[in-house]
Structure 1
Amino acid sequence: MFSNERHQKIEWGDCDPADIVFYPRYFAFFDASTGALFEAMGYSLKHIRDELGDVGWPMLNTGSTFFKPSKYGDNVIIKSEFTTVGRASFGIRHQLFNDGDLAVECLEKRVWACLNASGTLTSKVIPNEIRARMLSQD
């Protein structure tokens, strides 16, 4: 399955008074990593919206396991990969590494979405070209 890696510097605003990352910030990192995963495939959210007329990939379910704290000034690596690709939904695993150690793992389930004729958000079959790229080993 397709994967991507990105670097993230832990900023002061990411941390709580104990000087460790406040856990909701990890979800913001992982959401940005999902966007980066699609961009690495050649499909930015701008392309999805402007060229395909779809909304994007809203979250259905997410959960994380925390192994090691990260602190202000740490430079971490986030590895993201598709784990499953269904008809309209897909899974992603994000692994955040700090100093070579797995610090956080997050599993997401997302859905390909568009607006129907009445303007309501609804799922849509993932376009074949994008599905093929998700399943690729690049």
Structure 2
Amino acid sequence: MVYQRLTQIEFNHCDPAGIVFYPRYFEMTNSVVENFFNDVVGRSFASMHQNASNGVPTVSLTAEFVAPSRLGDKVLFSLKVEKLGRSSVSLRIEGHMGAEVRLRVALVLVWIDGMKSAAWPDAMRERLQAYMEDAA
């Protein structure tokens, strides 16, 4: 299974050349991750950050900007769970417009409790694991 979100490129995403300014892609991919945790993993960022001392900070991030996206484009972001560790998860996100790849991102998140890495709570681990198995 692949988690997907469609994002329309807006004026605020673009630089003076009319293409997505690359830091905006990181905001878009973070939105995909945030919605994945809410929709699939069962923990919203709000509940983690406001009501508990938990979170999923990014500890590793690489990006490949394959082709430019322009104002008005609709980019489909796809998220796959690639690896699940004791306290970490490796994700791959790709942005496509039609058949054309626009962006590839690999990131690693770590589950924290009280500002220290901790084992995933059982319910979250089960959802991440099921999603990973479905993606294989």
TM-score, length-scaled by structure 2: 0.89
Aligned partner of 1:106 in structure 2 is 105
Q: How far off is 1:49 after superposition?
A: 4.4
Aligned partner of 1:11 in structure 2 is 10
- Correspondences of 1:49-128 after superposition (within 5 Å): 49=49, 53-115=52-114, 121-128=115-122
Write the distance in 2 (CA, Å) between the matches of 1:47 and 1:11.
Answer: 28
Aligned partner of 1:35 in structure 2 is 34
Aligned pair count?
A: 131
Q: How far off is 1:54 after superposition?
A: 3.7
Q: How far off is 1:50 after superposition?
A: 5.8
Comparing 41-50 with 6-15, greater Cα deviation is found at: 41-50
- Per-residue CA deviation, residues 34-78 of structure 1 (Å, 9 max, x unaligned), is 111111213212333466x24210010101111111001111100
Give ranges in structure 2 of 5+ residues lacking alignment.
Answer: none
Aligned partner of 1:45 in structure 2 is 45
Aligned partner of 1:118 in structure 2 is none
TM-score, length-scaled by structure 1: 0.87
The answer (yes or no) to whether the contact 1:61–1:109 under 8 Å persists in 2 is: yes
The answer (yes or no) to whether the contact 1:62–1:106 under 8 Å persists in 2 is: yes
Q: Which amino acid aligns with 2:47?
A: H
> What is the SS of the residue equivalent to 1:70?
coil
The answer (yes or no) to whether the contact 1:65–1:104 under 8 Å persists in 2 is: yes
Q: Which amino acid aligns with 2:102?
A: A
